[in-house]
A and B are shown apart, each in its own frame.
Chain A
Amino acid sequence: MEGEWCNLTPVTYILKGKTDYTIHTLPKIEEDLKPMILIFKHCSFLETSCDTTCNIPLDLSRYRVKVEQRGCLLKELYKKDEWNNAYYIILKDYSPDKDSDLKVDAPFYSEEFHHLHLNTSVQESFGFENVELAYQVQLSSNKAATGSINISGPIALNNPQEFILGKTDLANPCTDKEAKALTIFYKDVIDDNFEIQPFDVQLTFIPEGFKEITWTRHKGPDSGILTNADQAVATFSNPEEGGLYQFDVIADNIPETHTRTNLWLPVAGPDISYYWENEIDYFKNQWGPSYRKKLDRRTSVFTTQMTRAFMKHVFSLNDMKSLGPNLDWMGQVEGEYTPCGGPNIVGDLWRQTLYGVVIDFAKRNNMMYALIGREMGLSEFELMKAPNLPIIQFGTPDKEEQFESYRAGFDLFNGESLEEVMKKRGHKMQAPGSWSQKEWPSYEISYEGLERKAEKQLKELIR
């Protein structure tokens, strides 16, 4: 094929890592001016000489770019260092009509009009192994998690987040830790009163210069506003619900430019306030009174008042010693869309939403343990210090967020509502840097429940 001339219409992209790449054409029926853009990254063969007109070390003759009617073509060459030393050949004012066909002679393309096949040997001889993405589609935000995000797996560079042109089958960050997504944490968009502050996400199609750019929502929560959707840089503003938002972009209706992007606002599991309220109600109004009634029976042989009170206390402590380590509510309630958040890791498990606040497995359990302990007649001191003191003997040393979860349980025992307690203590129960802080509360409500790990023991204590 070397030396053979072939028609070439504007290039739209070169797929990264491929031994062949596709040249897509703009519709010839359009007579409008269309730019042609070739973008190469790290191309060593570009260093042969200098094009004096643009002062770039690029020998255009190496590409044997010719125009049959020179008057129809203007050339511009760019090098942009900030894009990893990418070299751009931008051919403007090129009208793909019969009289002004751009012809490029290169040994690596075939006669096939739309596709140039770059086999391995040719690729190597031209130093073409590092051909990378030509066009860029990016999401960025000043609220995005900075640097890298470690989600117990590969570390992904977050902001800005680039997406591959023409790729629409994106991995889902809800389930795939290697998925590409611009990630914005809840903790980074709320103020001291835990109110979401306005913020923007920029949706950028590079380069500019197309006649028609269209950004659309593909899917995601019904929240936020997309503006400038017909511009190369569109803006998505003020989403107030967590989840996976997907935006599509297409340039000049060219199917090959159709690109999908992920904006990930990690979100916890559904709101299970209904279920948790029922649990609270059960332990306060059924289990607690039943336990105390049975404790009365267990100590009924002690007829003197204070000895009996003493026995009740030590019996309760002994009960909690065996019950406490099993006072867990296992599992995760799932909704149609949530959770779609971070991984479940030890110490940061199974996060759900309670009255608009994300709470993890351990804090929920601590809260209920404290409530149940008070129902059993144990003191706040004994219950709060239990994991840290040789009182009941379980658990590991607590931090302030754990103590806060015990206080939440005491508040519930003292008659405060779950809503009040979550408002007062919910965010204080979240460990700094935990996924409880990072995740957005779920907008879904579920009436499903969790599994009481200590169900058998709990029943035995009231039987």
Chain B
Amino acid sequence: MKKNILIGIVICILLSTNSIFTYAEDDSLEQFRDAVNKAWVQRDYEEIQQLIQNRLNNHPNDVLALGVKMYYYVFCSRDLSKARETGDEFFDAVRKSGNSDMIQLSSMMRDEIYSIPLSESKPYTQEQIDVIHNEFNKSFPLIERFYSMATTILSR
């Protein structure tokens, strides 16, 4: 009887630990998203890059960080080769979730990156940068999409 109770307590602790971990993950995702958005509005690309790097150091398969990194190479540093490379990593990370709709979506996003020829990898002009920031004046491009994909995967 005592043994059963002990096992029950251990299970409860494990379950609650897991629950805390999930909430903590959500919180850190939100903090990361907010920090990226803040840096984006300030056009502080180095800060964005640092945030991505820090996030991936701790969470190598994080869908949010990989998605932001993929678009970072499209919208910020304009390195389409690295964008494609990250697109593959992003797709692999999503594929592990097993969610067919999300896999299809990530595949479409990756393919869209691939559709831009490497020859178009020239840095943006100031006018182009201004247009991009005018369109996305409050948050990093489509970051909510990546955030939601990440939280969906974590909640499974």
Cα A390 to Cα B145 in complex, Å, equals: 5
Q: Are B74 and A389 in contact (CB under 8 A)?
A: no
Q: Are B148 and A390 in contact (CB under 8 A)?
A: yes
Given A310-B116, A313-B112, A390-B148, A302-B128 contact (CB < 8 Å): yes
Instruction: Tell whether A385 is near chain B: CB-to-CB under 8 Å.
Output: yes
Given A306-B116, A306-B117, A309-B115, A393-B105 contact (CB < 8 Å): no
Q: Are B104 and A314 in contact (CB under 8 A)?
A: no
Report A-chain residues with C-beta under 8 Å of the C-beta of B152: 390
| A-binding segment of B14-22, B30-38, B52-60, B135-143 | B135-143
**Beta-carbon contacts under 8 Å, B106-150 to A:** 108, 112-113, 115-117, 120, 122, 125, 127-128, 131-132, 135-136, 141-142, 144-149
Cα A379 to Cα B131 in complex, Å, equals: 24
Q: Are B105 and A298 in contact (CB under 8 A)?
A: no
Residue B141 contacts which of A304, A318, A392 (CB distance < 8 angstroms)?
Answer: A318
Report B-chain residues with C-beta under 8 Å of the C-beta of A83: none
Cα A298 to Cα B127 in complex, Å, equals: 12
Residue B128 contacts which of A301, A317, A385 (CB distance < 8 angstroms)?
Answer: A301
Instruction: Tell whether A307 is near chain B: CB-to-CB under 8 Å.
Output: yes
A379 to B, closest residue via Cβ: B108
**Beta-carbon contacts under 8 Å, A122-168 to B:** none
Instruction: Tell whether A283 is near chain B: CB-to-CB under 8 Å.
Output: no
Q: In the complex, what's the smallest C-beta–C-beta distance from A440 to chain B, in angstroms? A: 37
Instruction: Tell whether A321 is near chain B: CB-to-CB under 8 Å.
Output: yes
Q: Are A317 and B105 in contact (CB under 8 A)?
A: no
B129 to A, closest residue via Cβ: A301
Cα A307 to Cα B78 in complex, Å, equals: 11
Given A301-B127, A314-B142, A307-B105 contact (CB < 8 Å): no
Cα A163 to Cα B117 in complex, Å, equals: 78
Cα A301 to Cα B133 in complex, Å, equals: 13
Report A-chain residues with C-beta under 8 Å of the C-beta of B120: 304, 306-307
Report B-chain residues with C-beta under 8 Å of the C-beta of A313: 112
The size of the chain B interface, using a CB distance under 8 A, is 30
Would you give the 0/1 interface string for B84-118, flagging 1 where the beta carbon is closer than 8 Å to chain A?
Answer: 00000000000000000110110010001101110
B148 to A, closest residue via Cβ: A390
Cα A389 to Cα B147 in complex, Å, equals: 11
Cα A381 to Cα B100 in complex, Å, equals: 12
Q: In the complex, what's the smallest C-beta–C-beta distance from B138 to chain A, in angstroms? A: 10
Given A301-B128, A310-B74, A390-B145, A318-B135 contact (CB < 8 Å): yes
A384 to B, closest residue via Cβ: B101
The size of the chain A interface, using a CB distance under 8 A, is 26
Cα A314 to Cα B105 in complex, Å, equals: 14
Cα A317 to Cα B149 in complex, Å, equals: 16
**Beta-carbon contacts under 8 Å, A383-440 to B:** 385, 388-393
Q: Are A391 and B135 in contact (CB under 8 A)?
A: no
Q: Are B141 and A301 in contact (CB under 8 A)?
A: no
Q: Are A310 and B135 in contact (CB under 8 A)?
A: no
Q: In the complex, what's the smallest C-beta–C-beta distance from A316 to chain B, in angstroms? A: 10
Instruction: Tell whether A337 is near chain B: CB-to-CB under 8 Å.
Output: no
Q: Of B102, B135, B147, which is in contact with the most chain A CB atoms at under 10 Å from its CB? A: B135
Residue B149 contacts which of A299, A388, A390 (CB distance < 8 angstroms)?
Answer: A390
Cα A236 to Cα B118 in complex, Å, equals: 76
Would you give the 0/1 interface string for B40-83, flagging 1 where the beta carbon is closer than 8 Å to chain A?
Answer: 00000000000000000000000000000000001000000000
Report B-chain residues with C-beta under 8 Å of the C-beta of A314: 141-142
Q: Are B135 and A390 in contact (CB under 8 A)?
A: no
Cα A393 to Cα B128 in complex, Å, equals: 27
Report A-chain residues with C-beta under 8 Å of the C-beta of B112: 310, 313
Report A-chain residues with C-beta under 8 Å of the C-beta of B117: 304, 306
Residue B116 contacts which of A301, A307, A321, A391 (CB distance < 8 angstroms)?
Answer: A307
Q: In the complex, what's the smallest C-beta–C-beta distance from A234 to chain B, in angstroms? A: 58
Q: In the complex, what's the smallest C-beta–C-beta distance from A462 to chain B, in angstroms? A: 16
Q: In the complex, what's the smallest C-beta–C-beta distance from A12 to chain B, in angstroms? A: 69
Instruction: Tell whether A315 is near chain B: CB-to-CB under 8 Å.
Output: yes
Q: Are A391 and B105 in contact (CB under 8 A)?
A: yes
Q: In the complex, what's the smallest C-beta–C-beta distance from B120 to chain A, in angstroms? A: 4
B102 to A, closest residue via Cβ: A389
Q: Are B145 and A391 in contact (CB under 8 A)?
A: yes
Q: In the complex, what's the smallest C-beta–C-beta distance from B110 to chain A, in angstroms? A: 12
Cα A385 to Cα B108 in complex, Å, equals: 13
Report A-chain residues with C-beta under 8 Å of the C-beta of B116: 306-307, 310
Cα A347 to Cα B106 in complex, Å, equals: 31
Residue B148 contacts which of A301, A381, A393 (CB distance < 8 angstroms)?
Answer: A393
Q: In the complex, what's the smallest C-beta–C-beta distance from B115 to chain A, in angstroms? A: 6
Residue A389 contacts which of B105, B115, B141 (CB distance < 8 angstroms)?
Answer: B105
A-B CB contact pairs (8 Å), 17 listed: A298-B135, A299-B131, A301-B125, A306-B116, A306-B117, A306-B120, A307-B116, A309-B115, A310-B115, A314-B141, A317-B142, A382-B108, A390-B144, A390-B145, A390-B151, A392-B145, A393-B144
With A302-B128, A310-B74 known, 15 other A-B pairs at CB within 8 A are A302-B131, A307-B116, A310-B112, A311-B132, A314-B141, A315-B135, A318-B135, A318-B136, A379-B108, A382-B105, A382-B108, A390-B146, A390-B149, A390-B151, A393-B145
The 10 closest A-B pairs by CB, nearest first: A390-B148, A304-B120, A306-B116, A307-B120, A301-B128, A390-B149, A301-B127, A390-B145, A301-B131, A389-B101
